[in-house]
Amino acid sequence: MLFQVGGQGDRPTFFEMSAAQQLPASLRAALTYSLGIFALRRPLLHKVLDYEDEFFALLMAVLESHSLRTTDGSFSESLYGLRRRPVKFLEKGSSSRAESNDKTYDSALQKRQKVLSVVFLVVLPYFKSKLLSIYNKEREARLQASLWGQGEVSFDEAGIVSDQGETSQAQVVATTGEVSNMARIKKNFAALIGVCYPWIHATNEGFSFAYQLLYLLDGTAFYGPALHVLGLHVCRATGQELV
């Protein structure tokens, strides 16, 4: 299956790149909704929904690895007839200016570039999703604490009820010590994420917006910072490659 969008030359249009970038998020939303519907009849699927991030990351890792190995493009890029090509930085006196822009690309991706592409396409979005989940929980906990106060909470971070009247003092001290240490580490980590994540997210979105705006205005050949870091251009596949 291949989607064709208008445009001339090897350089994809802004709308092609935008559609290819948004496709994984749309695919995840569709899969989550479908699994939620099927889970009404098959309760076993609720376990898949409980590990939604891991399930989708594994699925995308398989799709992206296969697509990069066979087409030199990500899963969404291959659907739009796009390919990734390494940038060949030419020296000033090495060749004449009469060469076409097509010759500024290498023929195929190297294995290292394919692995790093999977990392940027799958691994980093997975960690971003987990950080967002931790941030949302921390924000909800802070909101609940501000509304109801912390004295009303009867369960600790591990979900264990404190009942010192029915257990021995030694067991209570040991259990409370272990739970409090783990709970303190988790709480401090969640608090750190609550402080740092908005800045990380704003920085990432700011760089992405700047690159997309420059790409739209023909100010850069890289649609995003990830492609710039990898040294890859996205270009249209030739007719022979599509066949």
Q: Are residues 35 and 105 in contact, defined by beta-carbon separation less than 8 angstroms? A: no
For the ranges 33-42, 101-110, 117-126, 154-163, the maximum mean pLDDT occurs at: 117-126
Per the model's pLDDT, the better-predicted residue between 42 and 173 turns out to be 42
pLDDT at 63 over 80: yes
Q: Which helix (H) or strand (E) holds 229?
A: helix 225-230
pLDDT at 203 over 90: yes
**How far, in Å, CA of 181 to CA of 133, rounded?**
22
Mean pLDDT of 52-67: 94
Q: What is the mean pLDDT of the chain?
A: 80
Q: Kindly give, in sequence order, each residue whose CB lies less than 8 Å from that of residue 72, ignoring residues fewer than 6 positions away.
A: 83, 84, 85, 108, 109
What's the whole-model pTM score?
0.73
pLDDT at 28 over 50: yes
Q: What pLDDT sits at residue 142?
A: 82
